[in-house]
Amino acid sequence: MQLLTKELREKFPKLRETDEKNPEDIPVIAKFFAPWNSWTWYPTEGEPVLDENKKEIDYHFFGFVRGLENELGYFSLKELESVKGPFGLRIERDLYFLCLLPELYSYSIPITISHSSHLLSCDYLYILTMVH
């Protein structure tokens, strides 16, 4: 499965482009998940990583990650594509994930927030997430 299509690439704001926005106004563009455990990635920003010849070598995301911890942070397409689960399972993209904010529910959960080189401190943040 192709995790990042051309159509999805065009929807992502560049990294740090939504820094000044209210979190409730930031759309979640996609949902990536590991079908053998509870890890889920909800990217909200993304942009290609280029080498010195301007050739794309990776794609970096920023978004909400549910794993061992619930946190906002960076992850890359190469990282997602390199994960191998039992029986050869790979990270998948939810093809039917819709990111319409009125359909999302917010709830308060403890998270760690790391964005760029600084750590934002807060005890709780309202995270928009789908219930299912």
Give residue 99's pLDDT: 64
pTM here is: 0.76
User: What DSSP letter does each residue of 75-114 carry, written as one string?
Assistant: EEHHHHHH-B-GGG-B-EE-TT----GGG-EEEEE--EEE
pLDDT per residue as tens, the chain (132 positions): 899 999 999 999 999 999 898 877 888 899 999 999 999 999 999 999 999 999 999 999 998 888 898 888 999 999 999 999 999 999 999 998 876 433 433 443 444 444 443 333 333 333 333 333
Q: What angle do CA 120, 31, 36 make, to 5 degrees?
A: 105
Do the Cβ atoms of 32 and 93 come closer than 8 Å?
yes
- List the beta bridge partners of residue 71: 65, 112
Give residue 70's pLDDT: 81
